[in-house]
Amino acid sequence: MNIYILRHASAGLRRVNPILDRKRPLDKEGKRHCLQLAHVLNAMKLQFDVVISSPLKRSLQTASLVGTETGYEAKIVQSAALAPEANFAQFQKLLKEFEEFENVLLVGHNPNLTGFVGSLLVPAPKLSGVASEGGLVQVRLRKGSLARLNMTHGPASLQWLLDPRTIRALYATSTAKSRPKTSRK
């Protein structure tokens, strides 16, 4: 099972009112980043079997833009296990539900995505029979970052991590003209 963990793209400034913040959409830069990421994923020939998103608007928009542009046609699954207030136990339950799929895209928020990735890579020791929250490893996920983890054997292994700057660079090189312009006089 390959898990692709995507932090939602840029959505402007956080709102003070939590109800309004849940409805905060992607900004212009966030939408552009999603399209660039999808272009890079298409160049890598990546297809997702299922796309799961936090129910918050900015995550749903990120999942929708990336999913649509990469050819994903099924309905996006919404899960509270990817919401900002979710815990690792909820996240593990979500992974268990979708373990039969090969390529799973998960779209959510920080700081919990960072903790989830760390906990998958290096599981926290069990204290009195209960796994403690947060892994021993922290992986930085900027807005729009995409991490690929392989869950085939034992703890997850980090296959790669695409930072927004790397995505922009890959997009720029893949869309650049192959021949330089020549002038005719």
Q: What is the structure's pLDDT at 46? A: 94
CATH of residue 117: 3.40.50.1240
Nearest alpha-carbon partner for 34 in 2, 70, 4: 70
Assess if residue 20 is contained within a domain: no
In-domain check, residue 182: no
Contact between residue 82 and residue 109 where contact means Cβ atoms under 8 Å apart: yes
Give the pLDDT score at 102.
96
> Is 181 contained in some domain?
no
pLDDT tens digit sequence for 94-145: 999 999 999 999 999 998 999 999 899 887 666 545 445 555 677 889 999 9
Say what the pLDDT of residue 181 is.
Answer: 60
Whether 156 is in a domain gets the answer yes
The token pair at 51 is 């796309």
What pLDDT sits at residue 171?
93
For residue 185, tell me if it sits in a domain.
no
For residue 34, what are the domain limits?
2-13+28-123+131-174
Segments in the chain below pLDDT 50: 128, 130-131
Query: Can you read off the two tokens belonging to residue 167?
Result: 């995505």
Q: What's the predicted TM-score (pTM) here?
A: 0.86
Instruction: Give the pLDDT confidence score for residue 126 in this predicted structure.
Output: 61
Q: How far apart are CA 41 and CA 167, in angstroms?
A: 10
Count of the separate structural domains present in the chain: 1
**Strand 50-53 relative to strand 126-127, pairing:** unpaired
